[in-house]
Each structure stands twice: as C-alpha cells, then as structure tokens.
C-alpha cells in the first residue's frame, strides 16, 4: 500500500519493551516513546502510513562498533561494558535492539528511493561511540545507517542533530571509521553548549549552519534528529533554548530548507525528558510541520 500524501512512519512492534517502569524504573519512562508516539499518530488519525522493517544483524553493529563491545552487549558480559550506555542490561533489550536500531536506516532508505520524507519512531543514539555505549545510547544507529547507505547506494549524508546534547558518539565513529568523506554531523548541541544561544538566536544560528551545509552540495540526504529535549522546561537540559512554539518554528524552517534544496529527509525523534505528554505533542508537531511543508496539509500545532 502506498497512499499518496502520507508520511511513512517506521516502527516495528518488536522494538517495544513491556513493563518499562517496573523493570527500569520511572526515570527511564522515555524508553516507551516510540510506541507512545505511534499510538498517538493513530489516535489523532494523522496522514501517516505504518511501515515495519528488517532488524539489523549483529554483524551490522560491527560496521561502526568494536566487535568486543558488540559481543558484550549481546551476551551481557563483561557487564560494565554491556551497560556502558547506562541502560541496565537484560535479555529483552538484547532482543529489541536490532529492531530499534534499524528503524532510521529503513526510513532513510525509503526516503532516498522514493524522494518522500519518512519518519523513524526511534531516537538516534548519538552518544554511542566506537568502543562503548554512552548516555542512554547502546549502538549508534545514525552512523550505521550512513555506513550502509554509503556502501549500498554510494551516497553522502548529513546528520542534522537538533538534540540539546552533543553528538559526540557520532563524531567519534566518523573519526574512527573514516566516514568523513561521506558523512557530516551538524550537531547543534555544540553551539548551544558553548555559545549559550537561546530562542531566536538559536533558530538563526541553525538556519545559518544548515544553509551552509546545503549550499555546499555535500549532503545527498539528511537525517534530521528532531529532538524534544531542547524544550525550555526539559529537566535534562536545565535551560533548553526553545519554547514549544519555537520548536515548531524550528521544524518548519528545517523542512522548508531541505525541501527547497531538493534533498530527501528522514526524521528521528531524539531525546525528551519533561513528560511523555510533552514528547508526544512535540513529535506530532514535527510530523505536522513535515506534512504541511511537503503535502500542503493545514495541520495546526498543539502547545501545552
């Protein structure tokens, strides 16, 4: 099925974990976000079409990670390495990771082959490094997607990382795996952390940096990490740079620039730690901004 004017939403039910709060504790509530956003897309009857995808193999993880680290995550031993992402190790996670990690790859492949935008209901694990995980990120699904797309389609990509936090793992792997010739990482977290730009200034800086990348002719596709943790009330961000309205502005600006450049885009969700309700609202607004830009829908945004 391929309904016109629908955004394909990549989400595999096998990536969902049960009993998250009981097993991991309340502070890990966000692990349930992909399923919650998927159900919200259904509830609001938005113009999306559900797509599932093949999981990664454990060999795929070795494209961008040390085989010793991959084996540690698969087996849970040594436990310090297996839990270097700060997510408690268990067999459910091991079973779900190949599905969780492959969603952005599948969405990006769809986008580059169809020319339409696609949305992966996964986060984009930008803190995972070559030799270990980091800060809630087990395997770097962004670098692996770019590596596979380079090998299979010969394309150069841009990761537009609009998370509050820096994409340090992505940069680590670009260096260790020599991906610089076919992958750029524009991580706004670096500029925000160092220059402390807020609100309109943040949006202006994003416009300038993205415009420069698009004008350079380097990227042939974009993976847009449309994070929710830049929200000014996000507890992990302390003082996030953007209000809810400004996050919607960010999305509109990004999609219109990428559309004008004629480059395919795949979206992933990024971090978000204020509440599940805020996450859903922000990510549905991203979906709506994308649909309004590409399909001339007139979805209105929701703000708390």
The single residue among 171, 229, 234, 251 that binds Zn ion, judged by CB under 5 A, is 229
x/- contact string, 48-77, with Zn ion (CB under 5 A)? Answer: ------------------------------
Residue span 248-277 as binding mask against Zn ion, x where in contact by CB under 5 A, dash where not: -----------------------x------
What are the structure tokens assigned to 46, written together?
């938005």
Choose between 117 and 169: whose C-beta lies nearer to Zn ion: 169
Binding status of residue 116 toward Zn ion by CB under 5 A = no
Inter-residue long-range contacts of 253-256, CB under 8 Å, 24+ positions, other chains counted: 253/203, 253/206, 253/207, 254/160, 254/162, 254/206, 254/210, 254/224, 254/226, 255/117, 255/289, 255/290, 255/293, 255/294, 256/293
Residue 242 DSSP label:
B
- How does strand 48-51 pair with strand 221-225? unpaired
Task: Give the binding range for Zn ion (CB under 5 A) out of 84-92, 158-166, 286-294, 295-303.
Answer: 158-166
Coil, strand or helix: which one is 159?
A: strand
Pick from 238, 235, 217, 242: which is nearest to 275 by CA? Answer: 235
Query: Residue 165, interface with Zn ion (CB under 5 A)?
Result: yes
| Token duo for residue 137 | 């990120």
Does 163 bind Zn ion (CB under 5 A)? Our answer is yes
Comparing CB distances to Zn ion, the nearer of 97 and 162 is 162
- 133: contact with Zn ion by CB under 5 A: no
CB of 271 to Zn ion, least distance (A): 3
The least CB distance from residue 164 to Zn ion, in Å, is: 5
Nearer to Zn ion, 241 or 264 (CB): 241
Q: Cβ 161 to Zn ion, closest distance in Å?
A: 9
Q: How far is CA 21 from CA 30, 99, 274, in A?
A: 10, 21, 16
Site for Zn ion in 189-208 (CB under 5 A): none
Beta strand spans in the chain (E): 7-10, 48-51, 118-120, 157-161, 183-187, 221-225, 265-268
Least distance in angstroms from the C-beta of 162 to Zn ion: 10
Task: Output the residue with the shortest Cβ distance to Zn ion.
Answer: 271
Interface residues with Zn ion (CB under 5 A)?
A: 163-165, 229, 271
């Amino acid at each position: 099925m391929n309904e016109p004017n629908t955004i394909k939403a990549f989400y595999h039910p096998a990536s969902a974990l049960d009993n998250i709060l009981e097993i991991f504790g309340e502070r890990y509530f966000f692990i349930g976000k992909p399923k919650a956003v998927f159900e919200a897309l259904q509830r609001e009857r938005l113009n999306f079409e559900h797509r599932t995808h093949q999981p990664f193999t454990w060999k795929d993880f070795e494209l961008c990670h040390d085989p010793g680290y991959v084996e540690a995550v698969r087996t849970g031993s040594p436990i310090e390495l297996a839990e270097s992402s700060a997510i408690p190790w268990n067999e459910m996670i091991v079973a779900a990771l190949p599905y969780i990690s492959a969603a952005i790859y599948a969405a990006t492949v769809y986008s580059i082959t169809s020319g339409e935008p696609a949305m992966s209901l996964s986060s984009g694990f930008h803190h995972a490094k070559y030799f270990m995980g980091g800060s809630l990120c087990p395997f770097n699904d962004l670098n692996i997607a770019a590596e596979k797309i380079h090998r299979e389609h010969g394309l150069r990509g841009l990761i537009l990382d609009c998370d509050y936090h820096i994409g340090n793992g992505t940069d680590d792997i670009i260096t260790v795996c020599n991906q610089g010739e076919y992958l750029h990482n524009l991580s706004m977290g670096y500029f925000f952390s160092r220059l402390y730009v807020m609100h309109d200034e943040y949006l202006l800086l994003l416009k300038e940096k993205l415009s420069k990348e698009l004008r350079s002719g380097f990227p042939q596709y974009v993976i847009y990490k449309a994070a929710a943790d830049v929200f000014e009330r996000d507890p992990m961000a302390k003082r996030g740079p953007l209000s809810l309205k400004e996050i919607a502005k960010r999305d509109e600006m990004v999609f219109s620039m990428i559309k004008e450049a004629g480059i395919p885009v795949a979206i992933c969700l990024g971090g978000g730690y204020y509440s599940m309700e805020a996450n859903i609202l922000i990510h549905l607004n991203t979906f709506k901004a994308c649909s309004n830009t590409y399909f001339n829908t007139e979805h209105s945004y929701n703000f708390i």
